[in-house]
Amino acid sequence: MGLTQAEKVIPGVRWLRGYSARFAVADLIAGITVGLTVLPQGLAYATLAGLEPQYGLYSAFVGGLMYALIGGCREVTIGPTALLALMTSRHTGHGGESGPHFAILLCFLSGIVELAMAVLRLGALVDLISLPVTVGFTSATALIIGASQLKALLGIRGGSGSGFAETIKTVIEKFGEARVSDSVLGFASIAKLKDIKTPADASKGRKTFGVALWLFATARNALLVLVTSSIAFYYDSKGERPFILTGTVKSGIPGFHVPPFSTQLPGPNNTSTEVGFVGMVSELGINIALVPVIAVLGNVAISKAFGGSGINPTKELVALSLSNIVGSFFSSIPVTGSFSRSAVNHASGVKTPIGGIYTGALVLLALGLLTPYFQFIPKAALSAVIISAVIFMIEYEVIRPLWKCNKRELIPGAVTFVLSLIIGVELGLLAGVLADLAFVVYRTARPHISAELETTSSEVPFIIIRPRHSLLYFPAVEWVRNGISKAIKSHGNIPVVLDCRTVNEFDYTAATGLGALRKELDTKKIPLVVLGPSNEVRKMLRETLKSSLLVASNEEELDAVLLELSCESRKGELREVVLPLLPQVSTEQESPPTTAVDIEE
Amino acid sequence: MGLTQAEKVIPGVRWLRGYSARFAVADLIAGITVGLTVLPQGLAYATLAGLEPQYGLYSAFVGGLMYALIGGCREVTIGPTALLALMTSRHTGHGGESGPHFAILLCFLSGIVELAMAVLRLGALVDLISLPVTVGFTSATALIIGASQLKALLGIRGGSGSGFAETIKTVIEKFGEARVSDSVLGFASIAKLKDIKTPADASKGRKTFGVALWLFATARNALLVLVTSSIAFYYDSKGERPFILTGTVKSGIPGFHVPPFSTQLPGPNNTSTEVGFVGMVSELGINIALVPVIAVLGNVAISKAFGGSGINPTKELVALSLSNIVGSFFSSIPVTGSFSRSAVNHASGVKTPIGGIYTGALVLLALGLLTPYFQFIPKAALSAVIISAVIFMIEYEVIRPLWKCNKRELIPGAVTFVLSLIIGVELGLLAGVLADLAFVVYRTARPHISAELETTSSEVPFIIIRPRHSLLYFPAVEWVRNGISKAIKSHGNIPVVLDCRTVNEFDYTAATGLGALRKELDTKKIPLVVLGPSNEVRKMLRETLKSSLLVASNEEELDAVLLELSCESRKGELREVVLPLLPQVSTEQESPPTTAVDIEE
């Protein structure tokens, strides 16, 4: 079997075509660099999700392999992220073994939903999330995550609830209990992490010193964790414990298990209640749909940023889906593309997604060999890793342009931000999307309408109504009718022309409304002419109204129709000409106006 | 205080201006005719709502008075309707006194919500209900009501549930128990009611016989009830009971009571549980919002049909609101305009809404004097009254035009119809509205785009992209980008022109997307020109992109820009001209193309 046939089965095989030693070295370096980032992040995000640290590493090796097999954008790295960890943390607080069970099942179900989205082409659902909503969502998430890490950073234990307000309250109340050693370590770590920025020209001018500086900056998380745990280890060997430590991390590569479809919730007096699949699903609730949508949103953003338009969104979705499904068999929590690690990958000069395989190998190696040392990692250091990762997610640059030219668009973003902080990121996001969509509906329901008094070349005055919207749909019907009534009130009983040249679509309600308007105008002997309807609009009007309507295809026809109407009117025959001409009645007409295009034609 | 001052307080005073004896007689006749219709309908609808018959009459006199004081359309008659009775029946099945309590509270709260809708100008919410959805909703309601009356019509007692499917099931299962006498009476009544149609020319040719026939036809419900109860009374005096009768109707005018804000639910063993205001509100649930919306929808439809565009929707809403609020103090169930009785009112030649006061007086008279006789009304006769009222609500004429020219619009109607039958009219209606709005969003997310290859007068080829939609909003961004990518793939790397002459609005996400597209095209050295953006669009692009963009106001400018670009390109200077010109960078340009309108201008 040649590469070409193999590629049909596994798209990733194409990376092997012309895979030179130079590529392999580049991918190896990039893979290891990303690995040095994902090790501390994985431990930290698992803690953020309310799980033991090793689950973060369990989540960090399947995605790279799956993406190498199917994905199409070399920079994308799939693994645990702060956002998904936060969403997962909602379900891990029930005690006992139920935490990891819920997280792993959520991972599995997210994968299934992503697969369904790929099959049903529902990936486009992320199109419904506008940029202001995205910004509101990620900024709120960053604040919530940051606040949740404040406790660990200050060495504060306990406190109620995990919401933003509750966390802040706990921090303020227990500020007196803050441990100096943890606080100093934590804030020093953040300062260090912030200080050592990845040089912008890292991927370009690679002189020896440049490379060293860049490697140092890129692996700063790993270095920080190494240094702080060494300090903790040193104190520990002297029998002292100045910092709150991570504690034992389970050693070894995770086994291959079917995801848990039932779990035990601890009850009072050492009893426990069995929760079946249905109970677990109802606990996960809306997150079964929202975690995949957020995951896809993240993935799309990354492949758009790095891959341009050459990316096949369906394949990306399948890669993401399999990363979650297969991952859940290795005790993974929900994963998606990580923007920060993808940027590291890009800066490290990765050539193909095979780099992800090296990352995975490094993670597995760490699980096998390094876990005994992980217990010495100070919690404050991990919190510093998280905070310095999410601090850049707070965006406010979007506010200024919106404030200057479209304040209305600030609303969905603000709704998302505020509600995310108050009632949770999932409902905040939903509310923001609905606020955005409500405006789309509003625009369709309340299109701009201009009503102007004009005269034909032959000096016949008429009112021309121009709806500035391409759809004339049911929510706008009353609005347009009122606009026309007002125009008649201010300009008098002269012919009304509805300019449909920019209107692409009428729906049935609008067509019926036009019929009712015509009847109403007939009683006042005001002619109604429709100008320039498209063929679709003509067809809809013909089928709905079942009677003729004065139609002019262009302005010349309009002039002629209006002239004819004014002559008829002077002869006192207006009524006959303008009244609704039912097909069977129209034969009774002695001289129907020749220029009026009967809509039945 | 003259009439003019009084009119400012009570708008209805204007009816008294020039109120002649002729008007008074006309209103009296119309009022009594409507009264003869509302008496049997009221008794029947109360039964439909699951309440004792007198509640229908309690609901039939306040609306007329309130509407006369505030309303603006002489034909509208406000009172109990089949639709609202059906929606009320959801909450009357808990036993004890709770049935009327829930119904009266629903009436009160509906009035409050309607008042809020008037204050907040939310009456326009009914604009969101399209004609196909309305048809689906009323047709399903008619079927449900008809099915619910089948049991009474056949004299079948008992059976489980009140849903459409359950009712039909009960009727089929218990068909053997159908009572011949009730069935004969019922179907004979329907046949009679259907037979005697109100003559179409009733309001015109009023010869003596014509008037008699018309009066007979209009008051046919009352006559039917009179005849059938006489028969029942005759048998009763002989000690026989061939029909199931209505039973005792409480006599007397209802007292003035504050609506019940708590109630007792009967429990097992003669106990009862107290349900407070919050409990009652949560039982009424979504109907607190939906009953008003349906009520307003009905009222709007009637005043549109009879009153044209001279009606002030806010005043109508206030009249409806006060009818419900004040009515709830007289034990009314939710009321709204009745289409059938308004038609009777119109045909009876009503001159002012004062006719409604005569109707109310007749109802009060009946409550005081006739209630002892109401017990003899056969239930099958009331069912016949209901069925013949709702049978005309089933509409299918809408299907043909939609099938022929816009099958898509059948979906919201069908969704409403089917879900109304299966899970209830309230959720059916909501689902239908959401299906309609989803399509509005879909059209905005997936506008028609045409991509064509054209050449300027100077033979420079370019791709012109025309979005056929007036909004370019966030859900369409990816769609338009993909359309452009496809066009480039099939036509090659030549300049791309985005025709924005029909696009009125860009949102922030779309503007940002355009910026990303320009960057992507820059890497392929493909120029991007925006043709004819409006001032609003220009402003949004300028604020968002913060760099220049090639813009042509019209086709002449476009020709010039494209010519210049092609010359620069031949000289190998394309890169400098087309790359994003950040304001501070643009000064480095030696010769920026003079014809390209910098968006910063």
Q: What is the pLDDT of residues B301-312, one digit of tens each?
A: 777 667 666 677
Q: Do the chains contact at A409 and B476, CB–CB below 8 Å?
A: no
The Cα angle at residue A490 between residues A486 and A491, in degrees rounded to 5: 115
State in Å, rounded, how far the first CA of chain A is from the last one: 64
Share of residues in chain B with pLDDT > 90 (%): 10
Q: What is the largest CA-CA distance in chain A?
A: 114
Calculate how close chain B gets to A314, using CA atoms only, in Å: 14
Calculate how close chain B gets to A440, using CA atoms only, in Å: 7
pLDDT at A590: 35
Q: Which of A489, A509, A541 has the most B C-beta neighbours within 10 Å, making it the best mutation to test the interface with B?
A: A509
* Strand ranges inside A238-385, DSSP E: 263-266, 272-275, 336-337
pLDDT at B526: 87
Q: From CA B359, how far away is CA B30, in angstroms rounded?
A: 8
Q: Do the chains contact at A474 and B405, CB–CB below 8 Å?
A: no
Q: What is the pLDDT of residues A78-115, one digit of tens each?
A: 999 888 988 898 888 887 788 889 999 999 999 999 99
Q: Which of B502, B512, B543 lies closest to A404 in CB terms?
A: B543
Name the 3-class secondary structure at B385: helix
pLDDT at A589: 37
State yes or no: pLDDT of B269 exceeds 60. yes
Contacting residues for A11 by C-beta, under 8 A, at least 6 apart:
A69, A70, A72, A315
CA B192, B197, B202, B208 dihedral sign is: negative
pLDDT at B2: 62
pLDDT at A96: 76
pLDDT at A481: 87
Residues of A in contact with B308 (CB under 8 A): 520, 523
Q: Which amino acid does the sequence have at A135?
A: V
Q: Do the chains contact at A523 and B445, CB–CB below 8 Å?
A: no
pLDDT at A574: 38
pLDDT at A207: 57
Q: Is A522 on the interface with B (CB under 8 A)?
A: no
Calculate how close chain B gets to A512, using CA atoms only, in Å: 9
pLDDT at A579: 32
Residues of B in contact with A317 (CB under 8 A): none
Q: Do the chains contact at A475 and B127, CB–CB below 8 Å?
A: yes
pLDDT at B415: 93
Work out the burial of residue B359: count CB atoms within 10 Å of its CB; fewer than 13 is exposed, 13-18 middle, 19 or more buried. buried
Q: Is B290 on the interface with A (CB under 8 A)?
A: no
Q: Are A174 and A159 within 8 A, CB to CB? A: yes
pLDDT at B332: 92
Residues of A in contact with B478 (CB under 8 A): 124, 127
Tell me the HSE value of B59 on the side-chain side, using a 13 A CA sphere.
39
Q: Do the chains contact at A127 and B402, CB–CB below 8 Å?
A: no
State yes or no: pLDDT of A284 exceeds 90. no
State yes or no: pLDDT of A219 exceeds 90. no
Name the 3-class secondary structure at B512: helix
Q: Is B499 on the interface with A (CB under 8 A)?
A: no
| Kind and range of the H or E run holding A255 | none
Q: Is A534 on the interface with B (CB under 8 A)?
A: no
Compute CA distances A398 → A316, A435, B514, B517, B520, whole Å.
28, 18, 16, 19, 21
pLDDT at B303: 75
Q: Do the chains contact at A539 and B124, CB–CB below 8 Å?
A: no
Residues of A in contact with B476 (CB under 8 A): 127
Please tell me the least confidently modeled range out of A542-556, B425-439, B444-458. Answer: A542-556
Please tell me which residue, A209 or B470, carries the higher pLDDT value: B470
Q: Is A402 on the interface with B (CB under 8 A)?
A: yes
pLDDT at A210: 65
Q: What is the pLDDT of residues A9-63, one digit of tens each?
A: 777 777 777 777 788 887 888 788 788 778 888 888 888 888 888 898 899 888 8
Instruction: Indicate the DSSP class of residue A254.
Output: P
Q: From CA A324, how far away is CA A333, in angstroms rounded?
A: 8
Q: Do the chains contact at A124 and B478, CB–CB below 8 Å?
A: yes
- Average model confidence (pLDDT) for chain B? 80
pLDDT at B171: 81
Q: Do the chains contact at B308 and A508, CB–CB below 8 Å?
A: no
Q: Do the chains contact at B405 and A540, CB–CB below 8 Å?
A: yes
pLDDT at A321: 92
pLDDT at A159: 54
> Scanning every residue of chain B, which has its alpha carbon at the shortest distance from the alpha carbon of A311?
B482
State yes or no: pLDDT of B416 exceeds 80. yes
pLDDT at B601: 31
- Average model confidence (pLDDT) for chain A? 80
Residues of B in contact with A536 (CB under 8 A): 405
Calculate how close chain B gets to A509, using CA atoms only, in Å: 5
Q: From CA A340, how far away is CA A346, in angstroms rounded?
A: 10
pLDDT at B411: 92
The residue among B202, B225, B302, B200 whose CA lies nearest residue B38 is: B225
ipTM surpasses cut 0.90: no
State yes or no: pLDDT of A384 exceeds 90. no
Please name the residues between 454 and 473 in chain B that touch chain A, using a CB distance below 8 Å: 468-471, 473
State yes or no: pLDDT of A186 exceeds 90. no
pLDDT at A593: 37
User: Is the full-model pTM beyond 0.90?
Assistant: no
Q: What is the pLDDT of residues B52-88, one digit of tens each?
A: 888 988 998 888 888 888 887 888 889 998 889 888 9
Q: Which of A130, A400, A468 lies closest to B507 in CB terms?
A: A130
Q: What is the pLDDT of residues A140-183, one digit of tens each?
A: 888 888 887 887 778 776 654 567 777 888 888 877 777 777 77
Q: Are B355 and B37 within 8 A, CB to CB? A: no
Q: Which of B502, B512, B516 lies closest to A470 in CB terms?
A: B502
Q: What is the pLDDT of residues B227-249, one digit of tens each?
A: 888 888 888 888 887 777 777 77
Q: Which of B401, B473, B502 lies closest to A544 in CB terms?
A: B401
Output the six-digit token pair for A230.
């060494």
Q: What is the pLDDT of residues A113-129, one digit of tens each?
A: 999 988 888 878 778 88
Q: Do the chains contact at B507 and A406, CB–CB below 8 Å?
A: yes
State yes or no: pLDDT of A599 exceeds 50. no
Q: Do the chains contact at A504 and B473, CB–CB below 8 Å?
A: no
Q: Do the chains contact at A508 and B131, CB–CB below 8 Å?
A: yes
| Residue-wise DSSP of B210-275 | HHHHHHHHHTHHHHHHHHHHHHHHHHHHTT---S-B------SPPP--PPPS-EEEE-GGG-EEEE
The residue among B280, B278, B334, B337 whose CA lies nearest residue B306 is: B337
Q: Which of A441, A476, A485 lies closest to B437 in CB terms?
A: A441
State yes or no: pLDDT of B189 exceeds 80. no
Residues of A in contact with B443 (CB under 8 A): 471, 505
Q: Do the chains contact at A406 and B540, CB–CB below 8 Å?
A: yes
Residues of B in contact with A512 (CB under 8 A): 131
A-B contacts (CB, under 8 Å): 143
Confidence class for position B406, pLDDT limits 50, 70, 90: confident
State yes or no: pLDDT of A75 exceeds 60. yes
> Scanning every residue of chain A, which has its alpha carbon at the shortest distance from the alpha carbon of B539?
A405
Calculate how close chain B gets to A346, using CA atoms only, in Å: 17
Please name the residues between 548 and 577 in chain B that touch chain A, using a CB distance below 8 Å: none
pLDDT at B595: 36
Q: Which of B443, B477, B504 lies closest to A471 in CB terms?
A: B443
Q: Which of B130, B405, B479 lies closest to A474 in CB terms?
A: B130
